[in-house]
Chain A
Amino acid sequence: MTVDLVNFARGPALKAAFIIFFIGVVWRLVNVLLLKHTRDLSEPRRGVAASLLGGLKAIGSRSWPHPEFIPRTGAGEALGYSYHIGLFIVILFFAPHVAFFGSFVGLHWPSLPNSVNTIISVITFTLLLAVLFRRVTHRVLRRLSNFDDYFSWFVVTLVIVTGLMATAHVGGPYPTVLGLHILSFDLLLIWFPLGKLMHAFYLFPTRAIDGYLLTRRGAPS
């Protein structure tokens, strides 16, 4: 294993993953958009502009638990938010990631010191373990979970773990581990449209549509 693995991972493997990602995401979005929708025959209580605004408002209001449910769901939501924030920071502000994503868009932005990224990565990994623990120990969550949930967790965690290994120089020569890290990202790109990671694309539009319909019917969004 050499830099050849890195070249394969960031070359043909990445290109194939990139194509599968875009085909898959658009395929699934089009599938949802072309679903048969029932016409809303009720008298609109609010105008189109107000309903659209209600839709936008719902994106924010539905992203936070209702006060009544905080004691029951607060811990889970906090876990979810925390590891998502950790992932975003490491993905966007680790120097090699800036170089990677920057090359796609032709821009470069400042990166965070490695020590900060490493600490955040370790915390994020720990949170991902906590999320898994919660899923397998929570009676309801466990019954709701299927292969998709566990595999989605696996591909995300794999990227974090191989990234930490590359940074810490464990598990083999750096080029090998770096190659595995990029390959695990390729795997994530391929799995993204096929599993529940698609929530990244569904989340806000569905909340907005719900908010729009509710406002149209006169209910608070």
Chain B
Amino acid sequence: MPELDSQPTIGALLDRNGVSRRAFMKYCTAMASVLAMPPLAGRAMAEQLRAAHRPSVIYLSFQECTGCLESLTRSFAPSIESLIFNVISLDYDDTLMAAAGHQAEEARDQAMKANYGKYLLVVDGSVPTGEGGVYNCAAGRTALDILTDCARGAAAIVCVGTCSSFGGIPFANPNPTGARPVSDIIGDKPIINVSGCPPIPEVITGTLLQYVTLGRVPELDAHRRPTVFFGNTIHDRCYRRPFYDRGQFAKTFDDEGARSGWCLYELGCKGPTTYNACATVKWNDGVSFPIETGHPCLGCAEPNFWDAGSFYSPIPTPRWGKAGEVRPAEAAELAIGAAAAGAVIGAGSVLLAKHRTQRLQTPGQDSQQDSPKKEV
């Protein structure tokens, strides 16, 4: 496995593959646009990228459904082949690589050794820690062991998907495998979370590209997500937002409001509390995104989205009923119970007060002894 610095630069690789300068500039301008950079940033990005060495990337898959990798392979800008052949050196990915078994493990070990301290570790899936991590093993080693080992020599870690970023579905109550996000386990490395279930393909590739271009971790939000993609809520950028502002809501999935494309807030849309680029970058080469197809946002890019009540309950719905959200009958039950308790407390306090008053007013009772003034 060649060392990072001994690898050809991205520019040299492009020249070798016959990619014209014009095509590369177009590509960089498009990427700068996706990354919300200024128009002239495309040129700077092209210069930076041409001079950069392809970083070694080790892609680990743990407790996940492979949806994130499926998403990544559907990236249009840059495409997965463009990414792994031109921008990064994908040295280990047990799903995509041709090698298997010991050969695959050897490839990873060689890449780690050759690029110690410089490689980029991409993690997909949460890490089970229950029972010593036995719920997820490969080549006789637990995910916990592999992650700790691989993280030691990584320059940075990119967590792809909500599972590796925040625990995701395996982390959901009751979390039988003791699943944890990467950030709970690794504390001494820069971590970039690219959340989503799955994340938008261009957000994954864009984040990797941004890292290669900048040569450092980009600006992150409080959840360590790149602000360039996670800086706004879906609600803020949603094309249905004017309907929300006008108070026009679809009440069911087949009413006049739904057919007219009105806001899906009352059908449980979590767009107002979800930070992601779905409404701008969209999916399938910018064709559409869930809300555009008529379904509310599930809030999959946010921590604990699976335990946040029904996907079809509006955001302000109280959450303390048996079904995860309060039902009118349950609210009435609780109100009646609390009111009964209040009545007992109220009546009790009045009776106690009356009893005390009576004792004070009755001559020859203990109250006289309590009152030294009267004795005097």
Contacts and interface: CB of A to CB of B under 8 A. Distances in A.
Contacts of B318: 10-11, 14-15, 100, 103-104
B334 A18 contact: yes
A178 interface: yes
B237 interface: no
Interface in B287-344: 299, 302-305, 307-309, 313-320, 325-328, 331, 334-335, 338-343
A119 interface: no
Given A30-B347, A103-B317, A23 B342 contact: yes
B280 interface: no
Interface stretch (B72-80, B116-124, B246-254): B246-254
Contacts of B339: 22-23, 25-26
A15 B266 contact: no
Contacts of B233: 174
A178 B233 CA distance: 13
Contacts of B334: 15, 18-19, 22
Interface stretch (A42-50, A73-81, A107-115, A204-212): A107-115
A182 B316 CA distance: 8
B272 interface: yes
B197 to A, nearest CB: 14
A22 B342 contact: yes
A30 B346 contact: yes
A114 B342 contact: no
Nearest to B350: A34
B222 A1 contact: yes
Nearest to A30: B346
A7 B275 CA distance: 17
Contacts of A10: 316-319
B62 interface: no
Given A22-B335, A114-B245, A174 B349 contact: no
Nearest to B305: A3
A113 B245 contact: yes
Contacts of B368: none
Given A23-B339, A99-B265, A178-B273, A108 B346 contact: no
Interface string B180-224: 000000000000000000000000000000000000000000110
Contacts of A7: 304, 307-309, 319
A103 B273 contact: no
Interface residues of A, number: 50
A14 B320 contact: yes
A113 B247 contact: yes
Q: Which of B316, B326, B334, B340 has the most CB of A within 10 A?
A: B316
Interface in A100-138: 100, 103-106, 108, 110-115
Contact of B265 (A29, A95, A104): A95
B272 A174 contact: yes
B345 interface: yes
A101 to B, nearest CB: 9
19 contacts: A2-B223, A3-B302, A4-B304, A7-B319, A10-B317, A15-B318, A15-B320, A19-B334, A21-B338, A23-B342, A95-B249, A99-B266, A100-B318, A103-B313, A103-B314, A103-B328, A114-B245, A114-B246, A178-B272
Interface of A: 1-4, 6-7, 10-12, 14-15, 18-31, 34-36, 95-97, 99-100, 103-106, 108, 110-115, 169, 173-175, 178, 182
User: Which 9 A-B pairs give the minimum distances between C-beta atoms?
Assistant: A30-B346, A26-B342, A22-B338, A99-B314, A15-B320, A23-B342, A100-B316, A106-B328, A27-B346
Interface of B: 222-223, 233, 235-236, 244-247, 249, 251, 265-266, 272-273, 275, 299, 302-305, 307-309, 313-320, 325-328, 331, 334-335, 338-343, 345-347, 349-350, 354
Given A10-B317, A20-B338, A113-B245, 10 more contacts: A2-B304, A10-B319, A15-B318, A15-B334, A23-B345, A28-B346, A31-B346, A96-B315, A99-B315, A178-B273
